Structure 1
Amino acid sequence: MTLREQFQQRENDMLSPYACRSAQSRGRQRPEEECSVRTPFQRDTDRIVYSKAFRRLKHKTQVFLQPEGDHYRTRMTHTLEVSRIARTIARALSLNEDLTEAIALGHDLGHTPFGHAGERALNTLMPGGFAHYQQSVRVVERLEKNGEGLNLTWEVRNGILCHTKGQAAATLEGQIVRLADHIAYINHDIEDALRGGIIFPMDIPLEVSSVLGFTHKARIDTLVRDAIEASLGQPEIRQSPQVREAMLALKDFMFDSVYTNPLAKGEEGKAQDMLRRLFEYYQKDPDRLPDDFQTIRAEEGVDRAVCDYIAGMTDPFAVERYKELFIPVGWTVK
């Protein structure tokens, strides 16, 4: 037996009946010869981590636009926190950790510069709308590797597509990532908002803290333990009613106090205007698009090519491109 076959035998012997086994994957868009060492889901994880889109996450906004300080979350650190939470839950439920990790690491590959502000801007500019979870799938299917895509397994692509809202993922591993995404962002956004002086500890509703805990560590621990206990032996990922209600109340508090707070989000309008002008510029002069996007332009139209280009930008790259195109350069006498 190859090492991969040994791993797959181990999956068959040790995982829950509800787990997705890599040997039972629905496969890839393009058939490939199997690796002798890694399972299909392990290969998917490697392909995501080595992708250009994954590397760009370190310079994309999570909540605060280009914050001063080294400890605020970026889209990269958010992704890593989601991965750790998701793997903890998957391991406790005897589900497939490799599949869980691949989905978690890939779930935000299509996120725009400037976080959800950038997503809202592109949603108004792109005919047919724009959603980052759909763009994440497009990244792995179409944009990476010079248009070849990463050729990931169906289960990973399904988990990425279903990580935010709408229909639940087809696998429990994908369902875990959706919950882990919510657990991660709502708690690290609280920590960043506290660090930034946007909210203060006693602002968090007492009825929420009395259920989830009064510290970052306690809230994470409560939410993870509850998901494990509520989901053990079940064909779906669940939360207890009390914890779910407390988490929803905490999310409402964050929307009211942080996500729509002018102090925290006051610069978002400028970022959206910047992306709007960039979109219009390349829309009118698509010959200025990089070569990588000219094929997309020819096959899928100018709007699609422009949207893909801008969605892939990091925050600082978008700012520099805007400066280059729209900010006059001082003239000096030589």
Structure 2
Amino acid sequence: MDPHAHPGPVAVAYAARRQAWEETHLSTLAARSYPARRALPEDDCGLRTPLQRDRDRIVHSKAFRRLKHKTQVFVAPEGDHYRTRLTHTIEVTQISRTVARALDLNEDLVEAIGLGHDLGHAPFGHIGEEFLDEALRERFGRSFRHYEHSLRVVDVLEREGQGLNLTDDVRDGILCHSGRAPQPRTLEGRIVRIVDRVAYINHDIDDAIRAGVLAESDLPAEPLRILGETGSTRIDRLVHDLVEASSVAGDILQGAEAGGAMDALRTFMFDRVYLGNTAVREHEKIRAVIRTLFDHYASLPDGPPDGGGAPGADDAQRITDYLAGMTDRYCIRTFESLAVPDGFVG
């Protein structure tokens, strides 16, 4: 028997029960799970809120699975303990849920936004994003921003061009999670936006030390005095600060001291790791890979070999969709197939 056509007593009562729970337990500032505002209206699920349904669609998407082979900071690291874009996504989501629960906000919304926020990242992280943007501007006068492409992934590219039909609040949180984008309209989206930085700064420090790019003694003393000597201590203090400052403000923000210390660590990481000597030596290699593939697909009469891409996409968009969807290792293998004689590919 079809449970949707003939729902049982639990499914019949589920939506009303969840709405009553949210009215009793969530802050008046929290986003609500109902009604679901989607581009294409759908009947609600009898056992999940619309936001839980969004979460499930993201987790089961192809773009989410590809995150395990996309760079966080270090390209194709040999060790098993370095972060990937997938582990970063899980860490952001877990911390964001902690903050949302402490503030009586909607955990299901921060979970869906957290899991979907980086689906549009190009291979090789932000450096790959920069060089894909450069190539698009030079040839087509277009730009590439991973947060905009994350929204395109869920709106258009998944499900063979049909998209995931996510709710408006999840879509807004995904699009606005970056500091370069407008503020998210919900407090839950603003949590993910700040926690994204909290997570990547501290976890990237851990990976940089593991890789030998940094030593513990290199870290600036004043931010460590304020936030702590270890990554877990710093994250704990930043989360406590975020919750307490936000509770007083009725918005999502950091205290001046903790926020300033985190900004100082971020500046240090850009100077020493993200744009440091070790990284810069790899940048031209990454640029060569991205530009070689981009120029190759732009020169083909039929564009990239993706069966036509999303409906209605022009050549520039098809190339963007194809390249941005690549994992690091697939991108490298494809480059080798074009640039290295077959007999020399190890």
Q: TM-score, normalised by structure 1?
A: 0.95
In structure 2, what residue type is equivalent to 1:182?
R
Q: How does 1:270-309 map to 2 (within 5 A)?
A: 270-287=285-302, 289-296=304-311, 299-309=312-322
Structure-2 separation of matches of 1:294 and 1:203: 47
Q: CA deviation at 1:203?
A: 1.3
Alignment CA distance shift 1:246-1:294 (3 Å): closer
Distance 1:182 1:105 in 2: 15
Distance apart, 1:322 and its partner CA: 1.2
Q: Which moved more, 1:320-329 or 1:145-154?
A: 320-329
Counterpart selection for 1:313 from 326, 331, 336: 326
Q: Is 2:337 the counterpart of 1:324? A: yes
Residue 16 of structure 1 corresponds to which residue in structure 2?
Answer: 27
> Corresponding residue for 1:144?
158
AA of the residue aligned to 1:168:
Q
Contact (CA 8 Å) 2:303, 2:315: kept in 1 or not? no
Q: Distance in 1 between matches of 2:248 and 2:92?
A: 23
Report the CA distance between 1:266 and its aligned residue.
Answer: 1.9
Q: Structure 1 32/256 Cα, relative in aligned 2: closer, same or farther at 3 Å?
A: same
The farther-off stretch of 230-239 and 37-46 is 230-239
Please say if 1:51 is aligned against 2:51: no
2:83 aligned residue: 73
User: Residue in 1 aligned with 2:197?
Assistant: 182
Query: Residue 232 of structure 1 aligns to a residue in which SS?
Result: helix
Residue 7 of structure 1 pairs with residue 18 of structure 2? yes
- In the alignment, the residues of structure 1 paired with residue 309 and residue 57 of structure 2 have an alpha-carbon distance, to the nearest angstrom, of 24
Partner of 1:162: 176
Contact in 1 for aligned 2:71/2:123 (Cα 8 Å): yes
Alignment of 1:196 onto 2:211: yes
From the superposition, tell whether residues 286 and 87 of structure 1 become closer, same or farther in structure 2 (CA, over 3 Å). Answer: farther
Alpha-carbon contact 2:303-2:318 (below 8 Å) kept: no
> Which residue is equivalent to 1:102?
112
- In the TM superposition, what whole-angstrom CA distance separates every residue of 1:47-90 from its partner, at most 9, and x where no partner exists? 00000000000000000111110000000000000001100000
Is contact 1:119–1:132 with CA below 8 Å preserved after alignment?
yes
Shift of 1:233: 5.0
Structure 1 residue 284: deviation in Å? 1.0
Report if the CA contact (8 A) 2:309-2:321 is conserved.
Answer: no
3-state secondary structure, aligned to 2:24: helix
2:233 to 218, 223, 229: 218
Query: Equivalents in 1 of 2:190, 2:322: separation in Å?
Result: 30
Measured in 2, the distance between the counterparts of 1:271 and 1:281 equals: 15
Matches of residues 187-266 of structure 1 in structure 2 within 5 Å?
187-266=202-281
CA offsets 1:286-323 (integer angstroms, 9 cap, x no match): 52523443454xx2311110011000000011111112
Q: Secondary structure at the match of 1:137?
A: helix
Q: Go from structure 1 to structure 2 and tell me whether the alpha carbon gap of 1:289 and 1:202 turns closer, same or farther (over 3 Å shift).
A: same
- Equivalent residue number for residue 118 of structure 1: 128
CA contact (8 A) 1:62 1:114 kept: yes
Question: CA–CA distance in 2 between the matches of 1:225 and 1:62?
Answer: 25
Distance in 2 between residues matched to 1:234 and 1:286, nearest whole Å: 56
Tell me which amino acid in the other structure corresponds to 1:181: D
2-side partners of 1:217 and 1:294: how far apart?
Answer: 43
Deviation at 1:2, TM superposition (A): 2.5
Over residues 239-278 of structure 1, what are the superposed CA-to-partner deviations in whole Å (9 max), with x where a residue is unaligned? Answer: 1111111111111111111111122442221112111111
Alignment counterpart, residue 93 of structure 2, candidates 83, 100, 125: 83
Pair 1:157–1:328, CA change in 2 (3 A): same
TM-align CA RMSD: 1.4
Structure 2 unmatched runs, 5+? 1-11
Deviates more, 1:258-267 or 1:86-95: 258-267
Give the counterpart letter for 1:179 in structure 2: I
1:82, 1:104 within 8 Å by CA — same for their partners in 2?
A: yes
Question: Normalized against structure 2, the TM-score is what?
Answer: 0.92
Identity of aligned residues (%): 51
The offset of 1:24, in angstroms, is 4.3
